[in-house]
Amino acid sequence: MSAQTKQTTSFIAGRHVPSLQTYPNIDPATGAELCQVARGGAAEVDEAVTAAAAAQRGWARTSPEERSRLLVAAAGLIRRDRETLARLESEDTGKPLAQAYADVDVCARYFEFYGHTIESFYGSTIPLGGDMHVYTRREPYGVTGHIVAWNYPLQLVGRAAATSLATGNCAVAKPADETPRSTVALAELIHEAGFPAGAFNVITGLGAEAGDALAHHPGIAHLGFVGSTATGSKIAHAAADRVIPTVLELGGKSANVVFADADIDAAVPSLVRSIIQNAGQTCSAGSRLLVHRAVRAEVVEKMAAAFGRVAIGRGVDDPDLGPLVSAKQLERVTGFLDRLTAGEVVAGGRSPDGLPEALAGGAFFAPTLVDGVSPDDEIAREEVFGPVVVATEFDSDDEAVALANGTDYGLVSAVWTQSLGRAHRMAAAIEAGQVFVNTYGAGGGVELPFGGFKKSGYGREKSIEAFAEYTQTKTVVVKL
């Protein structure tokens, strides 16, 4: 992997493309500059889309076996460079190194999973009559565009790239402004694995410039976006203007629903992880804690105690909790607590005390629990995107369902109960793309379909279901 210490550049058609204009990439743990980033724009996007279109014409004719071989080879290279990739991810995002290693492993797993499954992705035959032979073909769209968020750069771009390439598309990705380095490194590895030049391209730059140019480029046949609901709406409008499909993974306000018969001691560690993972900067974070009145005091007390034991520090030092991604994000999270008019802050609520002087400029926020929050409060309705969970009590199963469904979002939820009947009834009643029982997986594994209901977006990524999102069905009718 080539070193990029002075400027992180776009990667187009197998080569690095620097820009005259740059902007600083900031370490969220210290506020210091990590490097300069090429500020690509419409010209670089056009060059990348042109390169992808040229590569795709040949790539679409390759056999699933050939695609499988290259995808698995890319996975091997990702694992080979695990240390470097994890370090980049931890420095850029601020996440603990252990979580960055996990992100690298999952990125490799996407390439393996889709490399192994693409050879079993078939069309269908339709029995229309003895003298008719009818079958369907799954064909690629062409050039896919991907605009991804800063919270899980490698995971998000890895699943998009692997699915797109596996199904015969070629791709152009725009990583988030704050976290470009691991995506460029991934593009290098995909090229090294033997994919044709232009199969996967990366444009670094600002969302309002490079991202907007990619979303509106006439050569993009399919758009994928991960980020805020407000920006997702703009992406959807851009796609609708050109009548192209899009997959949107947007915001969330996911609930852990804890019933009186739950195993509280088994639940609490998972409840804590669901909100401190990646400093709560996860669309599927467990940011709402709905607790039965009979066990509310116990759950709140044990959650607050667990928060008090969370180790905080630089991501590369591998604490339990790293900084938020930027000073801007810290200001956003702090604002929710400043505007709080009801509820009791029983843990956190501010930047942590006792950090080393070297981290004084970092975007740190203590794990925070606010008890007694009304479901109508801003902090209970809006996505905070920080290590902040709000607790609300309920008395009945029906009230629990109403509270769980009482937001504009529907991404993930979890039910904690020892009643099998209640677990299945709640899973059916909750409006969310994923429902966990007595566990919580923020987004789940590679094998699990992932996507939202309501304003959490539409379309599904991960699992074999993603193949359907990245291909279009052609029906062939032959009279014999």
| pLDDT at res. 3 | 38
What distance in Å separates the CA atoms of residue 167 and residue 199, rounded to the nearest whole number?
12
| Average pLDDT value over all residues in the chain | 96
CB 82, CB 105: distance < 8 Å: yes
- Report the predicted TM-score, pTM, of the whole model to 2 decimal places: 0.94
What distance in Å separates the CA atoms of residue 214 and residue 463, rounded to the nearest whole number?
26
Residue 443's pLDDT band, with cuts at 50, 70 and 90, is: low
| pLDDT at res. 5 | 47
Q: Determine how many CB atoms are found less than 10 A away from the CB of residue 386.
A: 27
Q: Which residue, chain included where needed, has tokens 């009947």? A: 421
**Catalytic residue numbers, as ranges:** 249
What distance in Å separates the CA atoms of residue 19 and residue 16, rounded to the nearest whole number?
10
Name the strand (E) or helix (H) holding 312. none
Report which of residues 2 and 63 the model is more confident about. Answer: 63
Burial 447-470 (b: 16+ CB within 10 A, else e): eeebbbbbbbbbbbbbbbebbebb
Separate counts of helices (H) and strands (E) for the chain:
15, 23
The sheet with strand 412-416 has its strands ordered as 344-347, 368-371, 388-394, 288-292, 255-258, 412-416, 434-437
Q: What is the pairing mode between strands 10-12 and 15-17?
A: antiparallel
pLDDT tens readout for residues 275-322: 999 999 999 999 999 999 999 999 999 999 999 999 999 999 999 999
CA angle 342, 344, 345 (to 5 degrees): 120
For residue 164, pLDDT over 50 is answered with yes
What distance in Å separates the CA atoms of residue 235 and residue 408, rounded to the nearest whole number?
19
CATH tag, 255-447: 3.40.309.10
Mapped to the 3 state alphabet, what secondary structure does 12-39 carry? ECCEEECCCCEEEEECCCCCCEEEEEEC
For residue 95, pLDDT over 90 is answered with yes
Residue 2's pLDDT band, with cuts at 50, 70 and 90, is: very low
Q: Which residue, chain included where needed, has tokens 């193949």? A: 467
What superfamily in CATH does domain 7-250+457-479 come from?
Aldehyde Dehydrogenase; Chain A, domain 1 (3.40.605.10)
For residue 465, pLDDT over 70 is answered with yes
Rg (CA), the chain: 23
- Taken in order 240, 241, 244, 247, the sign of the CA dihedral is negative
pLDDT tens readout for residues 382-401: 999 999 999 999 999 999 99
For residue 75, pLDDT over 50 is answered with yes
List the chain domain ranges: 7-250+457-479, 255-447
CB 36, CB 4: distance < 8 Å: no
For residue 258, pLDDT over 70 is answered with yes
